[in-house]
Chains A and B, each alone.
Chain A
């Protein structure tokens, strides 16, 4: 028998300390950026993957993240203004939406819906996304600021290892460590402050603590019902993990979130009132129609209990990072290398990670969301989908829209595919007598 969607309170309306606190922290972050710009204080413009927050925070450099700023313009309904401003300058519709929002923002007075997007005094990029380097060069030309590009070697073999006795891995760590020391020197020049290795240890200890809490939070969604939606509330956790990585406020937030989620688990409170299907999201979210997107799943009782996005855009925070404080710079180099290699190799090995999540979290179906303006994160999704269907017998839905470009969102078609997917999930469950 075919089910019909039921009215379910969306998870985004699930009130709690965490939700309010994340809003407050993000507001505070924007106030810091706005204030820094007003005071002409140095700000580091960096990216969520390979942010080098550990070093930047050691120098008390406020960090602006263009991807986070861009997605926030989409959620606030302003992304198109900036996309069109960039296209007026000649940027192609095919270019990453985040880049174009950022370019539009910088060329229209840097007035973000949540504050002033500051001019960078230093730009930190890496090769973890193939767009980052050219993106950073735009700022370099615009603001004549130094750009530091961290070159992270990919894993050159069929099996990943982080064994320190492995010669290739050890060489790569030394290569990254040398670059970190260069970045430290550059930060000293930009801030006029001497590097304090004990302060770095303090920052690293904070990341260790945050990472453990974050990992525990993710694990709580193995419960039925899942206490949080990895797409909606998960974005809040990941956002705070990025902007407050290495800061005590970030640790406190994760403690609050973990306590709140444990309480939900104890009381049997789920992300939605009636959890019917447990889902895994592969790819990034659709921020331009974020509420509509989530609602199309939640109206069927579908909950994203896990999301690959919470892993690969979190700079390894999901893995339970443990920096060795006795050798901080070397340990930082090791962990950055492991995170980046896992992320970059993710295109080729994501299906194995997905299979583990399917088993551990009791996944009923996987949603693969291809992003039209980001081929990097969209590569291989149909192949992974077929592999999971064949080897793990888990149904997969492939849909496409965009991160921030509402012109690439077609609600009727999106709804049709999602509804059909849930109909097939229900039919499958009925067949199994569930």
Chain B
């Protein structure tokens, strides 16, 4: 018996296949793009392939993320706030605080012992200080997104960014470069600004150890360092952190299966 969690985020879509022991058998990852339904299906198929199973082997699918209502093959939808909370506690059972920096959202979540959401706080309507800000910096500096973290760690003298607005990011970055500041100093300044804003959100719900950092930005080593520094302790991350929302969704799928809810899934998509 297997279940799946599919997280259609604003930037990337993630999927996992999970067995009865809540072991992850397969992962899928793809850009979300404009066709949310296709992205969900693609990530799901990739996860099935990695797990070496077929769609008919899956007993229940829970969708999450902004595109959760477009997952046509899913059974139910749960918000990514609840899913990240469950996923974080699954990965790190002593988690009490979760920080998720996503493509357009930053979420700070206070969680209970079994991953239930006690409180949460999110960035405002605009995407200031989210992962999108890193994307804007990457474009402005013509540095691939994956290289930003290591580049930032090469600086000891970050510039002080006055904005985390993604619209104004480019002009401020260019302004610092025009003043002769090194690229790595500018990149570190960008990271510091995002980490600071994110941890402020976390403080609003209360920083309670252990803190687990989730979402795609966890792959950025500089951001993990800076968030840890600002939180005041080493935050939890793992190889699976990027998939935390999908993992939480899969755990919710298990809840449903174990409670005897039959799948309403359409198996042919």
- Chain A positions within 8 Å of B, measured between CB atoms, are 1-2, 4, 382, 389, 395-396, 398, 400, 408, 410, 412-413, 416-417, 419-420, 423-424, 427-428, 431
Binding site of B, secondary structure by majority: helix, strand, loop or mixed? mixed
List 7 A-B residue pairs with CB atoms under 8 Å apart, sorted by A's residue number.
A1-B259, A2-B82, A400-B125, A408-B125, A424-B119, A427-B116, A431-B112
Q: Would B82 and A420 count as touching, CB distance under 8 A?
A: yes
| 4 nearest A-B pairs in the assembled complex, by CB-CB distance | A420-B81, A424-B117, A420-B79, A427-B116
Check A4/B119 contact, CB under 8 A, given A408-B125, A424-B82: no
Q: Chain A residues with Cβ under 8 A from B112's Cβ?
A: 431
Q: Would A413 and B125 count as touching, CB distance under 8 A?
A: yes
Q: Would A2 and B119 count as touching, CB distance under 8 A?
A: no
**Among B81, B125, B256, contact of A423 (Cβ-Cβ < 8 Å):** B81
Q: Would B255 and A416 count as touching, CB distance under 8 A?
A: no
Please tell me if B20 contacts chain A, counting CB pairs below 8 Å. no
Q: Chain A residues with Cβ under 8 A from B261's Cβ?
A: 1
Closest to A395 in B: B119
Q: Which of A410, A413, A420, A431 has the most CB of B within 10 A?
A: A420
- Chain B positions within 8 Å of A, measured between CB atoms, are 66, 76-82, 105, 112, 116-122, 124-125, 204, 252, 255-256, 259, 261
**Among B66, B116, B204, B255, contact of A428 (Cβ-Cβ < 8 Å):** B116
Closest to A389 in B: B119
Binding site of A, secondary structure by majority: helix, strand, loop or mixed? helix
Instruction: List 10 other contacts, CB 8 Å, given A1-B259, A416-B66.
Output: A1-B256, A395-B119, A398-B121, A400-B125, A408-B125, A413-B125, A416-B79, A416-B80, A420-B79, A431-B112
Give complex CA distance A398, B121 in Å.
8
Closest to A419 in B: B79
Closest to B10 in A: A412
Closest to B122 in A: A417
Q: Chain B residues with Cβ under 8 A from A4's Cβ?
A: 76-77
Q: Would A423 and B82 count as touching, CB distance under 8 A?
A: yes
Give complex CA distance A143, B136 in Å.
50
Q: Chain B residues with Cβ under 8 A from A395's Cβ?
A: 119
Give complex CA distance A291, B251 in Å.
34
**Among B76, B81, B118, B124, contact of A416 (Cβ-Cβ < 8 Å):** B81
Check A431/B255 contact, CB under 8 A, given A2-B82, A423-B81: no
Q: Chain A residues with Cβ under 8 A from B204's Cβ?
A: 382
Give complex CA distance A328, B116 in Å.
57
Q: Chain B residues with Cβ under 8 A from A412's Cβ?
A: 66
Q: Would A400 and B118 count as touching, CB distance under 8 A?
A: no
Q: Chain B residues with Cβ under 8 A from A1's Cβ?
A: 255-256, 259, 261
Give complex CA distance A249, B80 in Å.
50
Q: Which of A389, A412, A413, A431 has the most CB of B within 10 A?
A: A413
